[in-house]
Structure 1
Amino acid sequence: MHNPADSSVPSLPDQLLSPGFAFVEGDRMKPLLTSLGALMDWPDFVDSWNHLAPDPYLAAKGRFRRRRHGTFSAPADGPVVAEPHQPHFQSLQYNTLQGDIQRWFEPIDAAIVHGDTLGTILRFCHQLFGHVAPATKRWHIEVHQFRIEASADAAGEPTPEGSHRDGVDYVLVLLVDRENIASGTTTIHTPEGRLLGDFTLTHALDAALIHDPVVYHGVTPVRPLVADLPAHRDVLVVTFKSADGGIG
């Protein structure tokens, strides 16, 4: 997972074990991905963010974002496969704004689900997280497309719940695009609130990898660089959770 000639860079599995997160710039992330598959439909993958549906659970609270959602599964030694569309659920322990409810979002477009790019990203996650957690026999996987929109009147909130955990085992946050926005800095904290690191996903394929039970993460609000032009931050979030004790 890293260049063996550069011993100063810890491997991604080592970073996920301690300190519990890693930031990977797009120039490094791209060859990691393409070693496992193609990104031939990348332009269509990026364009699909222009067709996301509003998040109805946040719109009523004045926090506007668009999203789509999909569910997958994978055995430790087999391929990642798409599951029937189902709701996203988090307990109040992990989401104080929208916990303990089943949230139904529009499904990810089938062409994206079965396309090269998402398949390659999921293979990368499966290999990496499986390496870190070799005892896991089966994974429950969720994929979220997010567009956070900002305007001169209202900042966009990538994580309106604040610094949090997702209630899973591992998380990939991959930048797809950002247009006319400032900030959006990812912050990583200990459970006690001590800052462990911060970085900003600024280029396509810049990635944050997180060991969710170990650290908390959040993203600062985004604002337009030019007030009267469209402004958005597009990310793909992939979560892996052990399903050995039952999917959920």
Structure 2
Amino acid sequence: MQNHDAVVSEISDIRSAYLRDRFVFVPGTQLTRIVKQLGATDDDLEKLTTVSDALTSDPTLPFRKTRTGRFGFDPRSMQVRRLEFQPFLLSTEDDFVRHDSGRVRMFDEIQDDLQRNTALQALFVFKYMVVEGVPVTRRPKLDYDSDQWICTLLNVRTITDGDLIGEPALEGVHSDGVDHTMTTYLGSENMRDDSAVTFLHDMREANGTRWHDTDADLVRARAQHRDFLDTCLLVDHESKHSVSTLYAADTSKRATRDLLAFLTRKPVAEGHHSRSFDSLRPHPDLPMAVGLRVLDGAQSA
């Protein structure tokens, strides 16, 4: 009970920082302790470090391997459950400027090796405990009358080798078109120490600006995922972010960086570009449901 109470207190402190700063960085050592109290096993934590080996090619970026899955947070049943496959689309309306902005992308799906992993399931629970009930600047054309949440999970490996320069965020300064973004680091190989730094920008920064061309006066914070489960959470429509290039420590060998991105928003409303593919139906072939928890008083914060 003492360990449980201590972890609940830690999550409460993280949530308080998130409410205050609209951004929080959680060191991996702390988050590992938290998710173990939320049901993650040591074996499944170890499996997370290699789950990205099963990733497939990305539909638009040659230096990336990706799988995605859609999950629904349901406060009525207090469950997170797998939702059916739908295409994925980010546009300039979402503050996302890239060569494939507005293009419907079809990713290969996350499989049971990830969604049945107790550590991944605990990360879902952790995110819900932090963000549920947090007031945010509302995005146009999202249904804030709904109590449901849709979370698109991306498992991404970025690669730099002799032919490719890996960009964790080729789009430069951007937002993710959601309410709450969470990124969790799974590991890397041959990554130079100055690689993949995340910058948080004031909303006045121009979309699409490369990370090294941004206005230093508009940088609100910076963080770097370096240790297993290092995690950032940010209110996605109150700041923008960018990520620096992945460099190889030994340029004669491939460098990789593995990440989970949890993009969570309200269901879309009429007129949204994703209206035709925003189903809340459960996945017919890859079912998964896990119980959620909430901090006392979180829903009314």
Same fold (TM over 0.5): yes
For residue 54 of structure 1, the aligned residue among 57, 68, 79 is 57
Shift of 1:190: 0.7
| Corresponding residue number in structure 2 for 1:21 | 23
**Match of 1:37, as an amino acid?**
G
Q: Match of 2:85, as an amino acid?
A: H
Greater shift in the superposed pair: 170-179 or 13-22: 13-22
Residue aligning to 2:208: none
**Pairing of 1:94-243 with structure 2 (within 5 A):** 94-97=95-98, 98-133=100-135, 137-182=147-192, 183-193=195-205, 194-243=218-267
Q: What's the offset of the Cα at 1:158?
A: 0.2
Residue aligned with 1:102, SS: coil
Q: Are residues 170 and 139 of structure 1, via their aligned partners in 2, closer, same or farther at CA, if it must alter by over 3 Å?
A: same
Please report the TM-score for the alignment, with normalisation by the length of structure 1: 0.88
| C-alpha separation in 2, matches of 1:238 and 1:213 | 15
Q: TM-score, normalised by structure 2?
A: 0.73
Structure 1 outlier segments of 4+, above 6 Å: 1-6
Percentage identity across paired residues of the two chains: 23
**Greater CA drift, 218-227 or 75-84:** 75-84
Higher normalized helix content (fraction of residues): 2
Counterpart Cα distance in 1 of 2:232 and 2:197? 11
CA separation of 1:76 and 1:32: change in aligned 2, threshold 3 A: same
Q: SS of the counterpart of 1:140? A: strand
User: Contact 2:59/2:106 (CA < 8 Å) preserved in 1?
Assistant: no
Mapped to 1, the partners of 2:33 and 2:135 lie a distance apart of: 23
Query: Structure 1 residues 71 and 42, CA, compared in 2 at 3 Å: closer, same or farther?
Result: same
Q: CA deviation at 1:185?
A: 0.3
1:69 matched residue in structure 2: 68
Distance across 1 between alignment mates of 2:54 and 2:79: 28
Q: Distance in 2 between matches of 1:170 and 1:72?
A: 14
TM-aligned CA deviation for residue 176 of structure 1: 0.1
More strand by share: 1
- For the pair shown, the structure with the greater C-alpha radius of gyration is 2
Unaligned runs of 5+ in 1: none
- SS for the counterpart of 1:56 is coil
Count of aligned pairs: 242
Deviation at 1:151, TM superposition (A): 2.0
- SS across alignment from 2:21: coil
Match of 2:294 in 1: none
